Structure 1
Amino acid sequence: MRTRLLAATLTALAAVSLAACSSSGSSSGKATAAAGSPTTVAATPSDASTSSAAATPATSAPSTSATADGTTAAPGATAAPAGSSPGADGSAPAKPAPPADAGLPAKPDSDLTGKVVAALNAIDPAIVGGKPDQVVEQARKQCQSMYQFPKDKAKLIELANQHFTSPDHPQGFGPDTAAKINDALRTTLCPSPR
């Protein structure tokens, strides 16, 4: 008697656990209703024969699982989270956010650093201002901006004026020079936009 009661209780707990993990609203309600009767019956020891009979539907419940669209999956398959499958609510699944360093090129070697510095010096020597390491870091940040805003020329000019400043040009070098800086970086340091 106790063995049957214990088996019915464990089966009911397993069914309740599966119902709690289910992500589909309609299938979790069915599983909870099916699992609810063995739990209630198993709580009363005088109805041990009823608990073993009620445990039979709950034992077969774990063999299949409901999917997000309400169909039944094969035994052993797990149900997909609601909204994760394309078309579940008529929209595409959410696109994961890009990493924080997306578009940031690796630190250039000495040859590439020389090319970047030479290209910027050709535009205006004040851009480099005798600080090649600093200007290369600013160029890398501008490359990341080019990756993030590949088609927004006005934004890229604004960001170039923020990244490239000097004591004589605290607000940047102006829109024409900023556009030239962007062009120079595209041909030297920055990877092609996506």
Structure 2
Amino acid sequence: MRTRLLAATLTALAAVSLAACSSSGAGSDKATSAAGSPTTSATSAATPSGDATAPGATTPAAPAPDPAASTADGATGAPAPDAGASGAPAPAKPAPPADAGLPTKPGTDLTAKLVAALDAIDPAIVGGKPDQAVDRARSQCQSMYQFPKDKQKLADLANQRFTSADHPQGFGAEAAAKINEALLATLCPPAR
């Protein structure tokens, strides 16, 4: 996936560079790379001089990368080129999926353990609504996955999620810490 993204980025960069050169009349400054395909000269594409820059252009075009250096042979396992060497930015680290850290809906046994653990802290946390408590617990587990070191943020989120009619602002800092401990002991996946 990363190789395809890099190849697509480099292809787009080459197309933009070639289009800029052909529209400005700088077609005579082409060289042939080791692979035999034409590339633009780095000095003519990067230096705004007279005919080499399109009218109205504010920045010079980037040099086209060498196609032989920008591809990796997946069949032979040849290493992919260094993104800095080809002039293209390194691809961004992919973001974790939106459901990262979200545990699957628990079965009846695990739900009973979770409800018992929350009832031990305060019976009003579940308040006779185990399905709602499980949904809130799963969301809290996801936050624990995203912010494993931020105890204060996790306590604040527990107080926002676990509320009742008698506790609209949550059950307090001490109860929130106990809720988080109970979730780690029952429902939440291990820390990464």
TM, length-normalised to structure 2: 0.62
Give 2:84's aligned amino acid.
G
- Distance in 1 separating the partners of 2:136 and 2:191: 18
Judging changes above 3 Å, is the alpha-carbon distance between structure 1 residues 179 and 59 closer, same or farther for their aligned structure 2 residues? closer
Tell me the amino acid that sits aligned with residue 176 of structure 2.
Answer: A
* One-letter amino acid matched to 2:13: S
Structure of higher CA gyration radius: 1
2:148 aligned to 147, 150, 159, which one? 150
The separation in 2 between residues aligned to 1:176 and 1:30, in whole angstroms, is: 64
Partner of 2:18: 28
- What is residue 108 of structure 2 aligned with on the other side? 110
Q: Displacement, 1:147?
A: 1.0
Match of 1:180 in 2: 178
Aligned identity (percent) is: 62
How far apart, in 1, do the equivalents of 2:151 and 2:13 lie? Answer: 45
Q: Cα RMSD (Å) of the superposition?
A: 4.1
1:111-153 deviations in Å (ceiling 9; x for gaps): 1101110111111111111111110110001001111111111
More helix, by proportion: 1
Q: How much does 1:28 deviate? A: 3.4
Distance 1:168 1:28 in 2: 68
Q: Specify every segment of 5 or more residues in structure 1 that has no aligned partner in the other structure, as ranges.
A: 1-19, 38-56, 79-83
Alignment match, 2:37? 64
Structure 1 stretch displaced more, 92-101 or 122-131:
92-101
Equivalent pairs counted in the alignment come to 149
Identify if the C-alpha distance between structure 1 residues 86 and 111 changes in structure 2 by more than 3 Å, giving closer, same or farther: farther
Deviation at 1:192, TM superposition (A): 1.4
Equivalent position of 1:4 in the other structure? none
User: Residue in 2 aligned with 1:87?
Assistant: 84
- TM-score scaled to structure 1, two decimals? 0.61
Per-residue deviation, residues 58-85 of structure 1 (Å, max 9, x unmatched): 999995376x8844507xx58xxxxx95
The list of structure 1 runs, each at least 4 consecutive aligned residues, that deviate by more than 6 angstroms after superposition, is 57-62
